[in-house]
Structure 1
């Protein structure tokens, strides 16, 4: 499947949708900054399996954006 790449607050969020053994869609999310991986995860959601690829991509983007926002907010609090 195609990997979808988005930028949010200077971070690159890559979402790779794929079908699980039951035919439902899930996404793996990778967050990068300055050519180094910050995190890679499979979001654990209330609805972890989606009926369409588009839903899985949207969910992955939302998780990636929240991850970046929390990371930047935490680093701001330390200053």
Structure 2
């Protein structure tokens, strides 16, 4: 399967779609900071299943972007 790489706010989001035994698509996602440290892997237990590979890729990208945005908001929260 093709790996998709996206840049978002200084982070690299890597999405790799995979088809499960039932024919549904899921996205393996990792997020890494520009310095090369891995920030997060998407847990396998919360992945939705999609009918098309493109849907899984889109979901993975959206998840990665939300993760980065949340991480950056946390780092700027003065509380």
Q: Which TM-score applies when normalising by structure 1?
A: 0.90
Q: Deviations over 1:22-44 (max 9, x none)?
A: 01000010000111101111472
Instruction: Give unmatched runs, 5+ long, in structure 1.
Output: none
Instruction: Give unmatched runs, 5+ long, in structure 2.
Output: none
Q: Deviations over 1:8-64 (max 9, x none)?
A: 00100000100011010000100001111011114725xx11111100000000000
Equivalent residue for 1:76?
76
Q: Which TM-score applies when normalising by structure 2?
A: 0.90
Contact 1:12 1:32 in 2 (8 A): yes
Query: Matched residue of 2:23: which SS?
Result: coil
Alignment of 1:1-79 (within 5 A): 1-33=1-33, 34-42=35-43, 44=46, 48-78=48-78
| Runs of 4+ off more than 4 Å | none
Q: CA RMSD in A?
A: 1.5
